[in-house]
Structure 1
Amino acid sequence: MDLFTSWLIITAIVFSLSLFGIVVLVKIGHPGFLMFFGFWLAILLILGAYFLPPEIASQDTREGICAIGGVLAFFGAIGSFSVIADTLGF
């Protein structure tokens, strides 16, 4: 499995776990919504890198974009789960 596939799988898992948090944030209007915005931006970044044609970006460039998106998704997920924990009173 190459780097892009592993980042895509990790992002899909984090995305599916964060869906509950999105519903909670919309209902309560928590200011941590910006972290969710960063998370969505990371997903778009990774998917955008996937669809870049080889004549525009080399494999190394696409893997670099995916790495940046993975880091954004990681911190967005941490912020998302902290907002959920704060909302639930933990």
Structure 2
Amino acid sequence: MSNEIRRPVLVPHARYRWDKLREQHQIVFPEGILVLNEPGAAIVRLCDGRSTQELLAALAEQFPDGNLGEDVCAFLERLARKGLLRDAADS
């Protein structure tokens, strides 16, 4: 990843949730809501401070038919550019 986030976590002002009413996975933050698809939600739920490699290994278990590496890294980079992810090592 170009942003060098090696252990991604959501920033303190953002949180993941399942909206029962709308039946949507979401990241909620002061400026708005980002709706996630199933793979995006699976990725965000794993952003708990584990390394990117550990995250990819866990996703490979959940989605054994896919080669997710580049897509996952691109998704994490987009979240970082939006200011929704930080590196847990920077705490």
TM-score normalised to the size of structure 1?
0.35
Q: Say which one has the larger Rg.
A: 1
Higher relative strand content = 2
Larger relative contact order, structure 1 or 2 (CA cutoff 8 Å, min sep 6): 1
Higher relative helix content = 1
TM-score normalised to the size of structure 2?
0.35
